[in-house]
Every structure is written in C-alpha cells, then in structure tokens.
C-alpha cells in the first residue's frame, strides 16, 4: 500500500529522532489519517530491514484485536502474534506481537527481547510516574537496554491530565505532527462544519474530579424532559439530510431518554450502546449503523440500517465508521482529549458524504477551542475555571463570575439558570478560520463615550455603538472620531453613511448628535464570527433614511461655542 506524503514524513521523522536522540518520540496524526499504515511500515522496516522484534501495546482487547486485524490486512507478509488474556492468546515467539498492557506488564522477560515498542493510542498513557507501561518498559530495558519506545496518537495530551510528552514522561517529544485542517485541505480528511446557533451552555455549577466533570452533576444538568425534547427536536430537524448520526450522551439514563425521544419524534429505531451492552448486541447495532449487510432473521425480516446511534463513552478511541456524517456532543466534557476523540469520529472521508456536521450542546468548542487548535488549560476543580469568570456583553470586560453588575459599565447580568443546558447547538466554529455570518433585527441602539482601560486622561476616546438584538442579546462596535489615519477614515465613512451633520472630531460630540437623533436608524446588522478570533465583527447594516442635521444647541444642550470643531 502506497504511503501518503505526510505518512512518509512521519516515518522519516521517527527514524531521524531515533538516530539523533536517546529519548522516546511521539507521532501525532489526526483520527482517520491512517496511523495504522505508519505503524505497519515501522514494523515492516524493523523486521525485514534490520531483523528486529516489535511489540505493539494497546489498552483494551477491542482495540488490540482491531490493531492486529488491521496490520494483517495491510501487511499480510508480517508474522504477527497476539498476547492477551481477554482474547485467550499468549503468543511469545513472533517477530511482531500485539499485546494488552494488562496482560504483559509483569511478563517482559517471558516475551524476550524487543527492539521497538509502539504504544497505540498513546494519549491513554497514565500520568507520568504511574501505570503498567512504566513497569513494563523498565523490565524490557533489563532484557534489552537499547529498546526504544514510540507513541502514536491523534492528540498530544492525555484524556484527563495535561500534555502527553515531557522530559520526565514516558514519551518525551513530538517528532512529527500534522493537523486536521491541513489534511482536510489536502482532501485526506472530511470537511467539518458546525451548526450556527446563539445560546451558550452554562457549566459554571459543574465540578471537576480526576480531570473530568463529575458525572452525577453532568447528568442532572443535561437530563431534563424539557431540554432533551428541545435538543432532540433540533437534532432531528438539522439531520434530515444526514445518514449516520452518532450521539454522545452524558449517562446511561440520559442516553435512554435521548433514544426514546428520538424514536418518538421520528417513528424510527435509534440504537443505544453503553458499557453494559453485550458484545453481540453492540456489534449488531454498529454493523447496522455502518450500513453493513446483516442476514435476515428466522422470519425473513431484513435488518434496516440505523440512522441514529446513541452511546455513552464507548464509541470514541478506536471506533471506525467512515460513514458518520454528523456527530452530536450532547454532553459537556472537561477533557480536551475526549472532545477531540468524539469529534474525530466524523473525520474520515466516505463516498456518500460531502462533510460532517458537528452539533455541540455542551459548550465544548467554546471551552476547548476549534478541534484543529485545541487550547489546553490548567486543571481546575470547577466547570468555569479557577477563579470562575465571565465576559460582560456590554463592555467585554472579563470579571469574576460572582458579579451581578459589571463593575466597569454597570451592566446587570441575568440570573444564572442552574441545572440548565443549551437546547440549541453552539454557534462556535469547529475549525479555526471558519466564518459564520448572522443577520439580526435591531430593536434599539445605545451610544456612549468609551475610554480604554488604563489609558491616559488625554488619550483618544472612541464612541461605542451597542445594538440590542434580543431580550438580553447585544452586539457592539467602536468607531474612532479622535484617532488619526485609517481609524479616522473608517469613522468618517461610518458617519457620512448615517448622518447629514458635519463629521465630528470628538467622541462626546458624536454621542451628543447620535442621541439627539442625528444619525439614521439601524434596522438590521450582519455579524461575522471567525473561529479563533476573540471578537465578532459587524460587517454590514440596513439603515433608515438619514435625518436632517441636528442644530448644535439642541444636542445635549451645548451652545455653538462649545462645539469642538
């Protein structure tokens, strides 16, 4: 099988690292990018070119079995053994062995010498200084002091704690990394898009334990009749043209609630897979979800494909269904790794889909960032950080979450809706640079003089224009009558489009004229959100007629002698 350019680059980077350094490298390639082919080539080179032995470690028997099967399919000439108590196999004399870490961590001597140890799905390695991997590696080095460890993963951070590579960790440095967006552009991964919505999830009441939100609190937040019904209605509506919708629920109870609601709304079966689902039943639902042919039952009834499949922390790492064209995050997660793994189920290309839709009901995109630029924050004990903070929609100041009134502008925050999650999908873009334009009807406009925090008293001031676009929804823009250059030119264009009054040179005068009715009414605005940028931008507007000029003595009671131009 021919390697893609980035796969060959990854292999070359591994060999370069092993030659020039004495620590352990990690290869980071997105879900769906073909890490198995990279692993197969490393095994083939080690055995065929250098007469070595390779051990591949996995964490669960399903992933172990999948890895062994994939390697045999890609490299049928490789002699591959399996060592796993769960699979009742204890092969020890093959040049390549795929093993479960639970089965071999105390049996390094029994397995004899290895030259290369590869950790598949390396983000599942336990925190540094702990775990069976470190025990096994220490014993493997007794057998062969020159044995080297290589990690393969889609995410260079652990599922529950911090970065994967470090000087004192099992894996020390990333030797090669290729990004999601790059491979989408090259056509190797499926394009992603997220549903545009306006409301955001509130997880400020959630606490974090062992790197993840407390399960009971998440279930209470997500599993209410009203909100499950509202979210499922939107899911059904937004996936009318989708064929394989994978839903991640918060708990078994929540998943059952979602399953029942979708079946009631659609009249069609919705599959359910949890950690307690028997293997045969799980395989049956997954096969139907993938669209695989299943023999009819004893009565000759065919098994139709499943459009909707709900799961609870099961179909993440190692689950391969290229036909998934919608991923629904119907739960919040504090783990950037889990967020990536869930979203990654839609990365793979498939002839029957043009893109993958991501519906986020847990505020995960906002919390962790776009999936191609995930932000790793310090570990905290609450869902909103330490200390918890929020952004004022009026002046955009970031203040402590305890404030009910913004200390900078006096905006009154609405009371929190504890126990509520969002019944609409997040409007955050799933990829950096994703552009979403939204039109809003304007119900009111407010004008104020704005002084940059910490600026000198004589520093240029701006005029802030705030548009009310809903009961508690506002959008703002700042124009600069007192600045020079391009900022002043933009203000002049803004003013001449709206007013017949002379263009003012002071923010205070501009506010006076605007509040006296000297600028056109704004009926509608278009707001552009670009994922990765901190603030939205107003890019267009629909205006009423320009009013007659405002007499100088009318605006805020000033006389003509007071006018600063």
Per-residue pLDDT at 397 exceeds 80: no
The mean pLDDT of the chain is 83
Q: Which domains are delineated in the chain?
A: 5-178 (3.40.50.300), 192-400 (3.40.50.300), 435-562 (no CATH)
Taking only the tens place, the pLDDT of each residue in 140-163 is: 999 999 999 999 998 887 656 667
Per-residue pLDDT at 129 exceeds 60: no
pLDDT the model gives residue 558: 45
Percent of the chain at pLDDT exceeding 90: 44
Which residues have CB under 8 Å from 103's CB, separation 6+? 83, 84, 85, 86, 90
Long-range contacts of 124-130 (CB under 8 A, 24+ apart): 124/59, 124/158, 124/159, 124/317, 125/151, 125/158, 125/164, 125/169, 125/170, 125/171, 127/158, 127/161, 127/162, 128/166, 128/168, 128/169, 128/170, 129/168
Q: What is the average per-residue pLDDT within 297-303?
A: 68
Question: SS3 of 449, please?
Answer: strand
Per-residue pLDDT at 256 exceeds 80: yes
Pairing outcome for strands 522-530 and 537-543: antiparallel
pLDDT the model gives residue 420: 46
Q: How confident is the model at residue 389 (pLDDT cuts 50, 70, 90)?
A: very low
CB atoms inside a 10 Å sphere around CB 356: 27
pLDDT the model gives residue 201: 57
Per-residue pLDDT at 400 exceeds 50: no
CA dist 376 and 14 (Å) reads 25
pLDDT the model gives residue 198: 41
Per-residue pLDDT at 14 exceeds 70: yes
φ, ψ (nearest 5 deg) of residue 496? -65, -25
pLDDT the model gives residue 563: 36
Long-range contacts of 521-525 (CB under 8 A, 24+ apart): 521/445, 522/442, 522/445, 522/467, 523/441, 523/442, 524/439, 524/440, 524/441, 524/442, 525/439, 525/440, 525/442, 525/467, 525/469, 525/475
DSSP conformation class of 480: -
Percent of the chain at pLDDT exceeding 70: 82
Taking only the tens place, the pLDDT of each residue in 426-454 is: 666 777 777 878 889 998 899 999 887 77
Per-residue pLDDT at 560 exceeds 60: no
Are 58 and 99 within 8 A, CB to CB?
yes
Residues in the chain, overall count = 565
pLDDT the model gives residue 393: 60
The radius of gyration of the chain from alpha carbons, rounded to an integer in Å, stands at 29
Q: How confident is the model at residue 127 (pLDDT cuts 50, 70, 90)?
A: low
Q: What is the average per-residue pLDDT within 378-397?
A: 47
319: which 2 tokens? 């689950």
Q: What is the average per-residue pLDDT within 4-13?
A: 94
Taking only the tens place, the pLDDT of each residue in 33-80 is: 988 899 999 999 999 888 999 999 887 766 777 788 888 888 888 899
């Amino acid at each position: 099988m021919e390697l893609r350019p980035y796969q060959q680059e990854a292999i070359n980077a591994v060999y370069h690292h092993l030659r020039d350094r004495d620590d352990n490298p990690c290869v980071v390639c997105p879900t769906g990018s073909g890490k198995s082919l990279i692993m197969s080539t490393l095994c083939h080179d080690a055995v065929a070119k250098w007469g070595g032995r390779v051990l591949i470690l996995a964490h669960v028997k399903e992933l172990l079995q999948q890895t062994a099967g994939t390697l045999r399919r890609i490299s049928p000439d490789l002699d591959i053994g399996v060592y796993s108590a769960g699979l009742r196999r204890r092969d020890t004399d093959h040049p390549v062995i795929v093993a479960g870490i639970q089965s071999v961590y105390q049996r390094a001597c029994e397995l004899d010498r290895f030259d290369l140890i590869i950790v598949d799905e390396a983000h599942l390695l336990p925190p540094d200084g702990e775990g069976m991997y470190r025990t096994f590696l220490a014993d493997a080095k007794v057998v062969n002091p020159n044995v080297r460890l290589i990690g393969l993963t889609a995410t260079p951070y652990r599922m529950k704690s911090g970065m994967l590579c470090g000087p004192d960790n099992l894996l020390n440095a990333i030797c090669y990394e290729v990004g999601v967006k790059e491979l989408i552009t090259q056509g190797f991964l499926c394009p992603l898009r997220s549903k545009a919505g306006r409301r955001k999830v509130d997880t400020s009441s959630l606490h974090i334990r062992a790197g993840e939100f407390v399960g009971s609190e998440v279930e209470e937040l997500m599993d209410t009749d009203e909100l499950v019904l509202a979210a499922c209605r939107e899911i059904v509506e937004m996936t009318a043209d989708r064929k394989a919708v994978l839903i991640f629920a918060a708990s078994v109870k929540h998943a059952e609630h979602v399953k029942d609601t979708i079946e009631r709304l659609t009249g069609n079966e919705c599959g359910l897979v949890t950690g307690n689902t028997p293997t045969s039943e799980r395989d049956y639902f997954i096969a139907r979800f993938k669209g695989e042919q299943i023999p009819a039952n004893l009565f000759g009834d065919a098994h139709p494909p499943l459009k909707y499949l709900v799961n609870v922390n099961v179909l993440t790492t190692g689950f391969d269904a290229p036909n998934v064209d919608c991923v629904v995050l119907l739960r919040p997660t504090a783990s950037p790794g889990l967020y990536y793994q869930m979203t990654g189920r839609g990365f793979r290309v498939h002839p029957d889909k043009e893109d993958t839709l991501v519906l986020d009901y847990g505020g995960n995109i906002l919390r962790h960032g776009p999936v191609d630029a995930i932000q790793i924050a310090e570990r905290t004990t609450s869902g909103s950080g330490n200390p918890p903070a929020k952004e004022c929609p009026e002046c955009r100041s970031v203040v402590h979450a305890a404030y009910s009134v913004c200390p900078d502008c006096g905006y009154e925050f609405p009371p929190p809706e504890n126990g509520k999650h969002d019944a609409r999908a997040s409007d955050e873009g799933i990829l950096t640079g994703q552009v979403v334009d939204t039109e809003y009807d304007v119900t009111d406009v407010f004008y104020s003089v704005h002084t940059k925090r910490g600026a000198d008293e004589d520093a240029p001031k701006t005029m802030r224009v705030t548009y009310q676009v809903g009961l508690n929804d506002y959008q703002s823009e700042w124009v600069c009558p007192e600045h020079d250059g391009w900022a002043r030119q933009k203000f002049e264009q803004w003013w001449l489009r709206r007013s017949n009054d002379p263009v003012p040179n002071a923010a205070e005068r501009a506010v006076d004229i605007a509040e006296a009715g000297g600028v056109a009414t704004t009926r509608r605005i278009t707001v552009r959100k670009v994922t990765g940028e901190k603030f939205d931008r107003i890019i267009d507007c629909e205006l009423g007629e320009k009013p007659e000029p405002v007499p100088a003595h009318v605006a805020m009671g000033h006389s003509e002698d007071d006018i600063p131009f």
